[in-house]
Structure 1
Amino acid sequence: MRRLLVIGNWKLNGNKSTITNLIIRLVEECANISKCNMAVAPPVMYLDLVMRYLINSNIWLCAQNVDIHISGAFTGDVSAVMLQDLNTRYVLIGHSERRIHHKENDAYIAKKFFILKKIGLIPILCIGENKREYDAGHTQSVCLNQIQSVIRLLGVEAFKDSVIAYEPIWAIGSGMSASPESVQIIHELIRNYIANYNVSIANEVLIQYGGSVTPENVTQFFNQKDIDGVLVGSASLNADSFSIIVRAAENHEKSYYA
Structure 2
Amino acid sequence: MLKPIIIANWKLNGDKILVQKFIKKISFDYKKYFKKNTIILSPPIIYIEYMKKCMKNLKLSFAVQNVDYNYQGAFTGEISTYMVQEIGAKYVILGHSERRKNHFENNLLVAKKFYCTKINNLIPILCIGETKNEKKSGLTKSILKKQIDEIFLICGKNAFNNTLIAYEPIWAIGTGTNASPILINKILKFIKKYIIYKSDNTNIKFYMQYGGSVSTENIKDIICQKYVDGVLIGSGSLNYKNFLKMIQISSKN
Q: TM-score with structure 2 length normalisation? A: 0.94
1:111 corresponds to which letter in structure 2?
Answer: K
Q: Tell me the residue number matched to 2:224.
A: 223
| Aligned equivalents of 2:106, 2:23: Cα separation in 1 | 33
What displacement does 1:50 show?
1.4
Question: In the TM superposition, what is the alpha-carbon distance from 1:30 to its structure 2 partner?
Answer: 2.9
**Alpha-carbon distance between aligned partners in 2 of 1:189 and 1:63, rounded to the nearest angstrom:** 27
Identify the residue that residue 158 of structure 2 maps to in structure 1: 157
Cα 1:173–1:70 shift into 2, 3 Å: same
The question of whether the paired residues in 1 share the 8 Å contact of 2:134 and 2:140 is answered with yes
Following the alignment from structure 2 to structure 1, what is the Cα–Cα distance between the partners of residues 82 and 182?
39
Between 13-22 and 210-219, the greater mean CA deviation after superposition: 13-22
**Residue 94 of structure 2: aligned partner:** 93
Cα offsets for 1:149-189 (capped at 9, x unmatched): 11111123121111100000010010111000001111000
User: SS state of the match for residue 49, structure 1?
Assistant: helix
Aligned to 1:256: none
1:189 aligns with 2:175: no
Aligned-pair CA distance for 1:32: 2.6
In structure 2, which of residues 194, 198, 203 is the aligned counterpart of residue 200 of structure 1?
A: 203
Call closer, same or farther: CA 1:68–1:238 in 2, change over 3 Å: same
Amino acid at match of 2:141: Q
Tell me what 2:10 maps to. Answer: 10
Structure 1, unmatched stretches of 5+, are 253-258
Distance 1:185 1:211 in 2: 16
- Displacement of 1:2 in angstroms is 7.0
In structure 1, distance between residues paired with 2:24 and 2:160: 33
Match of 1:169 in 2: 170
> Is the CA contact 2:223–2:229 (under 8 Å) kept in the aligned structure 1?
yes
Q: CA deviation at 1:76?
A: 1.1
Describe the superposition over 1:216-238 as per-residue Cα deviations: whole angstroms up to 9, x where unpaired: 21111111110110000111001
3-state DSSP of counterpart to 2:90: strand
Question: What's the counterpart of residue 26 of structure 1?
Answer: 26
**SS in structure 2 opposite 1:75?**
coil
Superposed displacement of residue 199, structure 1: 1.1
Distance 2:55 2:162 in 1: 22
Q: 1:137 to 1:88 in 2, by over 3 A?
A: same
Match of 2:36 in 1: 35
Which residue does the alignment assign to 1:210?
211
* Percent identical residues: 41
- 8 Å CA contact 1:213–1:232 kept in 2: the answer is yes
Contact 2:2–2:38 (Cα < 8 Å) also in 1: no
Flag the structure with more relative contact order, 1 or 2, with Cα contacts below 8 A and sequence separation at least 6: 1
Distance, in Å, in 2 between the alignment partners of 1:135 and 1:28 is 45
Paired positions, count? 250
Query: Structure 1 residues 214, 90: closer, same or farther in 2, change over 3 A?
Result: same
Alpha-carbon shift at residue 110 of structure 1 (Å): 0.6
The CA RMSD over aligned residues, in Å, is 1.5
CA contact (8 A) 1:70 1:79 kept: yes
**Gapped runs of 5+ residues in structure 2?**
none
Q: Distance in 1 between matches of 2:158 and 2:56?
A: 31
